[in-house]
Amino acid sequence: MNPIFSADDFGLTVSVNEAVERAHMDGVLGQASLMVAAPAAADAVRRAKALPALKTGLHLVLVDGDSCLGHFHLPTITGPDGRFSADQASLGVKYFFSPAARRELRAEIHAQFAAYAATGLEMHHADAHKHMHLHPTVARLMIEIGREYGCKRIRVPAESPAIMALCGEKITAGDRALYAWSRVLRAQAKQAGLAATDHVFGLKWSGHMTEDKIRLLLRHLPEGSAEIYFHPATYRDDALVRLMPGYEHEAELKTLLALRRE
C-alpha cells in the first residue's frame, strides 16, 4: 500500500501555506492539518478550497501555539498573550490533575473543532500539534468532541523502532516507550470507531525529512497502512526560525517535490 504524505502546521505562516499548495500540486502531498487559530489560517483555508483533491483536517493546538478562546476564557492553561506554553510536561500535569484546566481544555477543543467546521472544509482527519493527543485526557476529549463534529480518522503516532533501526537510527528507551504508549491512543480510537493508519513516520526525523532519508524509509516500509508527515515551507520566515530553529523546512518541501518525479 502506498503511504500517505501529509503536512502539519497548515495555516501557521504564508510560507507554510505556499509549500502545502505547491507540494500538493507538483509533489506527492495528499493531506494537510490546519491550525485554525494560527496567523495565516484564513490564507490556508482559501488555498485549500482551491485544491479540492487536498484532504484537510484539524491540527489541534494545545501546546506551544495560539488558542481560539484567548486568555480571558483560558486563564489556567494559557499565558496573557493567549498562547499555550511550550512546556509540554507542565501542561500535561495540569490537563490531568486540575479540574479548572480540564474545563478550559474541553472548551478550547470545542472551539477549535467549531472553527474548523466554520471554514466549510470537509474534515478528513484530526491530529494534534506535538502529538499532544497522546495525553489520555486530551485524547478522550478530542475523540468525544471530534465525533460530534463528524471526525472519523485520527493520527496515532506509532513510529516503529524496528523500522527506524533498519534506517540506521540509534533507538533509545524513550523511542520504545513512546511507541508502546501509542497503543493507549490506538485503543481509544478503536473503541470510538475511528480509523487510523497502522504506522506513522516523522517523529525521529521531525524537521529533517530529507530526500535521502525518505527514500531509505520507503525501502523499509512495513506491511499495513502508513502516514509520513512533514513540515514544509517555501522559506524560513521569522516565525519559523523562532518557533522551530533547527528545522529544515525548505528541504522537506524539496523532498515532497522530488518524490513526484519518480
Q: Are 241 and 234 in contact (CB under 8 A)?
A: no
Q: Are 72 and 107 in contact (CB under 8 A)?
A: no
Closest CA to 83 of 249, 246, 243, 248: 243
State the CB neighbour count (10 A cutoff) for residue 190.
12
The whole-number pLDDT of residue 260 equals 83
Residue type, 18: E
Homologous superfamily (CATH) of 4-260 is Glycoside hydrolase/deacetylase (3.20.20.370)
Quote the CA–CA distance of 104 and 10 in Å, as a whole number: 24
Quote the CA–CA distance of 157 and 91 in Å, as a whole number: 19
Helices 173-191 and 136-148, packing angle to 10 deg: 30
Helices 249-260 and 14-26, packing angle to 10 deg: 10
Helices 99-119 and 88-97, packing angle to 10 deg: 110
The whole-number pLDDT of residue 1 equals 63
- Cell output for 224: 499495513
E strand segments, the chain: 4-10, 31-34, 55-60, 65-66, 83-84, 126-128, 199-201, 226-230
The pLDDT averaged over each successive group of 10 residues in the chain (262 residues) is 93 98 98 98 98 98 98 98 96 96 98 98 98 97 97 98 97 96 97 98 98 97 97 97 96 96 56
Residue recorded with cell 499532544: 132
Strands of the sheet containing 55-60, edge to edge, are: 126-128, 55-60, 31-34, 4-10, 226-230, 199-201
pTM of the model: 0.96
